[in-house]
Structure 1
Amino acid sequence: MNVFERFSGKVLPADWSWINEPAEWRFDDSKSLQISAPSQADFFRDPSGAAIKSSAPFLHTTLQGDFTIWTRVRVDMKQPYDSGCLMMMADDTHWAKLCFEYFESTPSILSVVTRDTSDDCISGAMDVSNPYLRVARAGNCFAFHYSSDGQHWKLARYFGMNVPNQLKVGVVAQSPVGEGCAVTFDALTITNHVCEDIRNVE
């Protein structure tokens, strides 16, 4: 089920809220979410200690236990690292995101896993302008997948993180070094069904 069917204009259901609500966002007539990421907006905790950023708009709900969430995203890429992401968060120092991002002048799939400090993993270039992103949880194991068509999925990341049963989960728009960018999420589907092996998509 596309949970965005419950949304309209700039009105959120009671179980959804913003961290870093942006000045410009709305749900259009097709129930797509449009976000204008502010300048320098990002979530990243540099392992060198050079920068800690937690300023990107994050629209989220709270999920209990296992889940699968997927979306389709488009990004008006202008500056390096402009991106739209799926994100799950336990707290400020334990979170992870899967992103469609402008990396080295190429639309690409990247992911970040943060356990006190963040890593940065590049999965590769995308050949479409509106890929699908997917996050699955089974206990303390997580799998990140991406797809060009929503049918054939590639595994970007499989990792463990000791986190509570309850997590914030949703979408992020960011422009870490740019002057801002427009991000559109065409749908957002959430289910408590997970594959027996979350590294696979059935």
Structure 2
Amino acid sequence: MNYKFIFLYLLPQDYKSCGANEKRAKMTTIQLKEFIKTGKFGTISIGSTKTDIVNIFGKKFDFADCGETQIIKYGWYEFFYWTKTELVFGIQNDHLQADCIDHNEMISFGNKSFEFDKWFLQDNKNVTFGQIEDYLNKEKISFEVVHVYKGSDENIIKCTRSNVTFDFANEYRLVELNEKGKFKNWKEYVEAEQSNFVLNGIRLFGI
């Protein structure tokens, strides 16, 4: 009886590839779209605890003590909680304008354990009021345009299911770079039409 043997050789890069695939399989993705739809930032929502946040996103964060409230921040994604109970009452990023040379750092979020799907947010690009309406309509996310506060002439977009809000600025500036990609100057803009106002922040606050 004749036997045939087949040998499979793995090159060093194959081992590396296997390891990379294993890491990707364990990577958790936080989706901006889901936060806007549901009010849940991954598994974190209003009423979660500081411990919940740290267990998911890690101990490497910036911290602000505001007395009765405290803030822990990953990049510019901020989680507000009550000092006494450590219960989360707010989640936001209010640094979404493309007005700096490190805009990517303002809108990105992630580490070795998780990554962030930014949906419509793009490096060095502003998003307008009109564009947000289009994105929400396309995804069939119901919303309303409301005043920032009673008597205000400024409007925000509020998602009716999640209570996530978008606020905008009619005055903004863009960075002008030189040929070497270094900062050269600012360019100031003022928009008259609401549809052209630029996105400043995405927020969710509870009681």
Give the structure-2-normalised TM-score: 0.25
Question: Which has more radius of gyration?
Answer: 2
Please identify which structure carries the higher helix content.
2
Please identify which structure carries the higher strand content.
1
Give the structure-1-normalised TM-score: 0.25
